[in-house]
Structure 1
Amino acid sequence: MGPEFMAVLLFVCLCQALMAGFPVAFTLGGVSLLFAGVGSLTGTFEPSFFGALPSRLFGTMNNQTLLAVPLFVFMGVMLEKSRIAEDLLDAMSRLFGGLRGGLAISVCLVGALLAASTGIVGATVVTLGLLALPTMLRRGYDPALATGTLAATGTLGQIIPPSIVLVLLGDVLSSAYQQAQLRMGIFSPKTVTVGDLFIGALLPGLLLVGLYLLYLIGMAIFKPKALPALPAEERGQVSVAQLLTSLVPPLLLIMSVLGSILAGIATPTEAAAVGALGAGVLAAFKRQLNLQRVREVAYATTEISAMVFLILIGASIFSLVFRGFGGEDLIHEVFAQLPGGAFTATLLVMLVIFLLGFILDFIEITFVVVPIVGPVLLAMGIDPIWLGVMIALNLQTSFLTPPFGFSLFYLRSVTPSSVPTAAIYRGVLPFIAIQILMLAIAALWPGLITWLPETLGR
């Protein structure tokens, strides 16, 4: 068995182990170390490759970019527990509830605002499901349409900044860009940053929200019985003061975080610190800040951050072993022989990521697949910002694709037993199609992603 065969076998066995449900971080590291041991005995792997492992792990834990992960998580969890979503949804439903589909439109708008405030998919889906789904079902909404709207709206946190996946992709693609430059025999100070991806994802994220709204408005026109209006006695009246009180705090937080990045005043990590502080201030303003609340938020932040960093350590071991077997060179040779060059290679990668999204989590795909294909695609001349946002859009579908879409699991946990799982699956299909349409639009008009970073001099 040659080293290239071992590289392919390593990837296949890793996917099989992940599908079997073994812990991701230990699977990444354990399977890779097992193959490295076998490769050392058979002469297909050089153990000296592990000499780079300590510096890699130290670099991971000392990475200032990745410090944004626990800060954004803290901000999101704090906002989730400070009843921001409840006040927003109440104000929006009073404002739009008199229209057919008004409640679904309100859910979509609130989900977009929460995505720009928190970036945590699970918290958004569960919160909106608990607040809006009972009312939607009671007022005669089609169960598939109601659950599909909630599940899809919750995934907007994947693409609308600040997004955890964009932070992780920014770090991975930065390393991939440096490797691509070495492969091409050049080096320039330019690199891809998390801030670049945040700015590049802004317009596609807003356009995706617009496509969701167009779909809901179209359904309200052509299938009005599926999205009935709320009766006047149930929705009540919303005052300007109530609307401003609900909208202004999260909008100020969004402006402080994204505005500081867009203006070049702060790095994403610094903006994340501002966001974490701002979330605490909002919680105190709503009288939701106490010692018990801080303890709950700190525990959830530690749990999520530890999971992400442990997976990242396992992924570092995997990428090192995969490269030691010559896997990166193999991928480069395969892509170079494809007809159509960079276009076909990118299309193939996007198809593979989409299919893997049916069975793997976005973190696993980010840390396993992107480090393998990223350097090769970037060496072929693909714009790193465009590639990062395209991958983020693609990974967003992994939250909705059955059977392992995480948004489906989150929503199922708060959905009444009277709504079958098949209805949830059926409801997300139109939104998956919309996300694929968004991918096609961004592929046909790459300036949708690259224009704003270029305009701001990124």
Structure 2
Amino acid sequence: MTSLLPFFMFGSVFLLLLLGYPVALTLGGVSVIFGLLIFGPEFFALLPLRIWGTMNNVVLLAVPLFVFMGVMLEKSGIAEKLLETMSMLFGKFRGGLALSVVIVGALLAASTGIVGATVVTMGLMSLPVMLKRGYQPELATGTIAASGTLGQIIPPSIVLVLLGSILNVSVGDMFVGALIPGLMLVTAYLLYIVLLGFMRPDTMPSVSQEEMLSFASKASMKTVIEAFLIPMLLVLAVLGSIFAGIASPTEAAAIGAFGALLLTLFQRKLSLDVLRSVMRETTSLTSMVFMILAGASAFSLVFRGMHGDRLLADAILQANLQPELFLALVMVVVFLAGFFIDFIEIIFIIVPVVAPVFTAFGVDLLWIGVLLAMNLQASFLTPPFGFSLFYLKGVAPKEVTTSHLYRGIIPFIVIQVMMLVLVIVFPELVTWLPKALSGH
């Protein structure tokens, strides 16, 4: 009976989350109850040390810094400038607006990584224009929602920071390893839109001659350079310093936060109100993450104290479950969990439980981390609780229905699953670049 307690505890947390209880309080509350039942009052002597050890992790300092960078860039107006410029460049092509949304989503992912801000900005600016030009609502909403979530896999990504911390893998290696899969996903989105334009031209009507002339007159070289140069400088400062080994991810996050502050100042958008708003939003988002992290630390302490990780690893090894089959099982569970709970909850509940098993199998945890990040990206898109769909519905015109959003996102989820399978079959897509940069 004692051997079943860890799994009963895990099931209790999952059930309470599905019933809608707050994540941090559920994790902390269930852990305290089980901790008292199993270890007695001495449990409270261990818990503060465990939480302090987590909060003292310098790597996690990158979380508020990257959040600050993303929110500050949202206020700077860089996203709007990028969208306008890309629309001018690609507007004359069939599907040009959809292509520009994907490219801007990738650039914003590499410079901000804040999914909500990216989806809302592109939804407000691009969706009405796409609908006015005759784009199929499903294609327009699906493209915006999928492109807005690229910040989950393209570094710098908070998901990669959290996964690196839990899996005990270098966050710098996580960033480098996720680069090729992230770019593959962007390329797959672009190819899908181009192919759809050939096969079903009715979903994205071509642009009139007058509009083409209007685009050509507006798209000056100076406008293009200014729109691209600003975010690219920041991307090079952050990712370049990590990839070159000059700065750690935490130090690079500080460079990014300071760079975003300067760019907002140069754009003449910095004011005391803006700074106050950015700091308030950063504090709110960071507090949410760290409250969940404190609850997850308590959960991990009790679960491991009951030898839950060892019991799970022994059960799988004794069942002669092959590493490939276990990996497939974990990927399916994470994908299905993404339909109902948030990516942060999945990271802090499921990943610490399965990580020791992957270690026992001798599997490369860097590869596992990137696979999990790709899988978790889908949780933003899968109904009924896909956060990107909520963000987009909140700013979409009235004629755009929830069914449009759900139908529109299906092809992009299929593309994500295909890319995930490709990276599972070819692990070198993740491991090659980190090894090449480290000289191994």
Q: Which residue of 2 aligns with 1:16?
A: 15
The partner residue of 2:108 within 107, 110, 114 is 114
The partner residue of 2:164 within 160, 166, 170 is 170
What amino acid maps onto 2:191 in structure 1?
L
Is it true that 1:92 corresponds to 2:86 in the alignment?
yes
What amino acid maps onto 2:323 in structure 1?
A
Which runs of 5 or more structure 1 residues have no equivalent in the other structure?
Answer: 175-191
What amino acid maps onto 1:301 in structure 2?
T
Q: Which residue of 2 aligns with 1:246?
A: 227
Is it true that 1:285 corresponds to 2:279 in the alignment?
no
**1:5-404 mapped onto 2 (5 Å cutoff):** 5-37=4-36, 39-40=37-38, 45=39, 48=42, 51-174=45-168, 192-234=169-211, 236-237=215-216, 238-404=219-385
Distance in 2 of aligned mates of 1:340 and 1:315 = 28
Distance in 2 of aligned mates of 1:85 and 1:232 = 27
Distance in 2 of aligned mates of 1:352 and 1:86 = 38
Conserved? CA contact 2:91–2:215, under 8 Å = no
Conserved? CA contact 1:115–1:160, under 8 Å = yes
Distance in 2 of aligned mates of 1:248 and 1:229 = 29
Which runs of 5 or more structure 2 residues have no equivalent in the other structure?
Answer: none
Conserved? CA contact 2:313–2:360, under 8 Å = no
Greater helix content: 2
Hey, which bits of structure 1, 4+ residues long, moved more than 4 A? Answer: 45-51, 232-235
Deviation of 1:4 after TM superposition, in Å, equals 2.5
TM-score, scaled to structure 1: 0.92
Moved more, 229-238 or 441-450: 229-238
Q: Look up the SS of the partner of 2:60 in the other structure.
A: coil
What amino acid maps onto 2:87 in structure 1?
S
Distance in 1 of aligned mates of 2:121 and 2:78 = 10
The partner residue of 1:430 within 372, 397, 411 is 411
Distance 1:388 1:47, change over 3 A: farther
Conserved? CA contact 2:137–2:404, under 8 Å = yes
Q: Look up the SS of the partner of 2:313 in the other structure.
A: helix
Deviation of 1:3 after TM superposition, in Å, equals 2.3
Q: Look up the SS of the partner of 2:131 in the other structure.
A: helix
Distance in 2 of aligned mates of 1:434 and 1:386 = 19
Distance in 1 of aligned mates of 2:98 and 2:428 = 31
Distance in 1 of aligned mates of 2:289 and 2:311 = 28
Q: Look up the SS of the partner of 1:456 in the other structure.
A: helix
Distance in 2 of aligned mates of 1:232 and 1:372 = 59
Conserved? CA contact 2:164–2:171, under 8 Å = yes
Moved more, 421-430 or 327-336: 327-336
Distance in 2 of aligned mates of 1:280 and 1:231 = 40
Deviation of 1:31 after TM superposition, in Å, equals 1.6
Aligned residues: 435
Distance in 1 of aligned mates of 2:207 and 2:278 = 35
Distance in 1 of aligned mates of 2:82 and 2:25 = 40
Conserved? CA contact 2:111–2:235, under 8 Å = yes
Distance in 1 of aligned mates of 2:6 and 2:398 = 45
Distance in 1 of aligned mates of 2:156 and 2:304 = 32
Deviation of 1:378 after TM superposition, in Å, equals 1.7
What amino acid maps onto 1:88 in structure 2?
L
CA distances 1:120-148 after superposition (whole Å, capped 9, x unpaired) = 11111111101100001111110011100
Conserved? CA contact 1:50–1:320, under 8 Å = no
Conserved? CA contact 1:112–1:156, under 8 Å = yes
Distance in 1 of aligned mates of 2:228 and 2:165 = 32
Distance in 1 of aligned mates of 2:112 and 2:359 = 30
Moved more, 88-97 or 342-351: 342-351
Q: Which residue of 2 aligns with 1:184?
A: none
TM-score, scaled to structure 2: 0.96
Distance 1:230 1:48, change over 3 A: farther
Conserved? CA contact 2:163–2:347, under 8 Å = yes
What amino acid maps onto 1:197 in structure 2?
M
- How many percent identity over aligned positions? 57
Q: Which residue of 2 aligns with 1:183?
A: none
Deviation of 1:5 after TM superposition, in Å, equals 1.9
CA distances 1:152-188 after superposition (whole Å, capped 9, x unpaired) = 00110000000000000111011xxxxxxxxxxxxxx
Deviation of 1:340 after TM superposition, in Å, equals 4.8
